[in-house]
Amino acid sequence: MRLRIQHAVCPHRGLYLTDTPRPNCRDCDGNGGFNRDYGDYETGEYAGTEWEPCTCWNENRRWLLMPLPRLPRRHRGPGRDPWGAGGYSDEPPF
Ligand SMILES: [Zn+2]
């Protein structure tokens, strides 16, 4: 099992330690899985490619290393709106 650090947002936003495919795996050649083309049942034409993960690693196995905070929304206070610059104000100048 080889580990690698990955940035992810699911299930929590943060840095994750993840499992990776074995580089010299006989089955997947280190790719971590196989692309399998499949056809449409009725027409037999190419319908897409399915990704099948190899058994030499577990793509769902990961540990949260460091949670990252959500980016806070900037609050614009009244009178500090840059688009409102130029003298205009909603509030009467008492
Ligand atoms: Zn493999």
Helix (H) or strand (E) holding 51: strand 46-53
pTM given for the model: 0.50
Distance 89 CA to ligand 1 centre (A): 65
In this prediction, residue 11 carries a pLDDT of 75
Distance 12 CA to ligand 1 centre (A): 27
Q: What are phi and psi of 86, to 5 degrees?
A: 115, 15
Neighbours of 55 (CB within 10 A): 12
For each of the chain's 94 residues, which pLDDT tens digit applies? Answer: 678 888 888 778 999 999 999 999 999 999 999 999 999 989 999 999 999 999 999 988 888 999 988 777 776 666 656 565 555 556 666 6
- Positive or negative, the Cα torsion across 78, 84, 87, 92? negative
Distance 5 CA to ligand 1 centre (A): 19
Q: Which tokens belong to 83?
A: 């688009």
Q: What are phi and psi of 82, to 5 degrees?
A: -65, -30
